[in-house]
Amino acid sequence: MKKLSDRVAIIGMGCTKFGEHWDKSADDLIVEAAYEAFEDAGVEPDQIEAGWVGTLTSGISGLSLTRPLKLQYIPVTRVENMCATGQDALRNAAFAVAAGAYDLALVAGFEKLKDSGYSGLPGASSSVIGAGNTAPGAFALAANRYFHKYGVGKEELAKISVKNHYNGARNKKAHFQKEITVDQVMKAPMIASPLGLFDCCPTTDGAAAAVITRTDLAPRFKKDYVTIKAMGLAVGPGTGRLDPEFDFTSFPETRAAAKQVYDQLDIKEPRREVSMAEVHDCFSITEMIIYEDLGFSEPGKAKTDIDAGAFTLNGDLPVNTDGGLKSFGHPIGASGLRMLYEIYAQLQGRAGERQVKDMKLGLAHNLGGNPGSFTCSIIALGHP
């Protein structure tokens, strides 16, 4: 993939509070996120030349965006790419802006999961490969295999959940804003052994949005814009669980997407060169494996880094500073943009007590699917 570094700028972002929004519709959430982004960018809705909207199951067509915002006859594309939906919407919009097709574009991602009636995610998979599959069950296979291979126990996973709840308790927009203890995680009701209640992200409503333009135009709108440094997207063949070589302790889609990004930025030591990361902690074990697949920890050595506090707010590489999926929540179409919303704030020095010191480069990582069958998106943001 050719480098896109610094050709596209984010000049405004918005994000609703994530949670159980029984009193709000999907349209309400889109309006709230989009108008925060408009205000942040200093633009009016009628200045938007094109739009991209991401949702898994909560809307169809570009009307999901034009209807609530009353956008007038502009091109709008609806994007769906599992949990990478929000980031992929931004990715496609960024390509259009970089190509010069549009000067000002709106990207929004949303999901209204609590109204679905499901306790988890609705959706379909292969009647053979996916038969009887549940997300907790699939990731529990990864946890058990990782424990067996590396001699790690559930307490390490508990420390990840405790970290993310600690961060989320300091974020007024997070779904859960309460700290928890290792003991609470260990004693929580079992969902799919060894994953308990506090190892799993919640079912959440929310929306997030971004206004983007070419970097050469960005100073016309604001001074503290940020730029897209690199983007990577990797989709596997979906046959991991049929492959005798697949052992569940590493996700090749993450490694492939990370290589795309690192190659674009000439990153050789991600643990040292990345300032902070937002990663896809749908389950605590997922975050642990992601540490290793992104090159933050050596294979099988994430335990050492977790015990040392490397990924806490005061560690050398803070991860999920806003609470992550575990504490902030996971409305599918919105999550990728929510991650970028946090990095955007961190780069502008507006993250309050969650602020990362010497913030230069942030990495947002989305992982959609189950072990052996993933879509992975990674986007890096930084200063121009």
Give me the active site residues, please.
Answer: 83, 330
Residue 371, number of CB atoms within 10 A of its CB? 25
> Which residues, other chains included, contact 361 with Cβ-Cβ below 8 Å and sequence gap of 6+?
229, 265, 273, 274, 275, 380, 381, 382
CA dist 366 and 86 (Å) reads 9
The residue among 76, 147, 150, 143 whose CA lies nearest residue 108 is 76
CA dist 256 and 329 (Å) reads 26
CB–CB of 116/57 below 8 Å?
A: yes
Q: Which two tokens stand for residue 52?
A: 């991209």
Q: Which two tokens stand for residue 381?
A: 């943001």
CB–CB of 312/164 below 8 Å?
A: no
CB–CB of 41/47 below 8 Å?
A: no
Burial class (CB in 10 A: 0-12, 13-18, 19+), 247: middle
CA dist 382 and 384 (Å) reads 6
Angle at the Cα of 285 from the Cα atoms of 311 and 378, rounded to 5 degrees: 65
CA dist 342 and 325 (Å) reads 12
b (16+ CB within 10 A) / e for 112-133: bbbeeeeeebeeeeeeeebeee
CB–CB of 363/294 below 8 Å?
A: yes
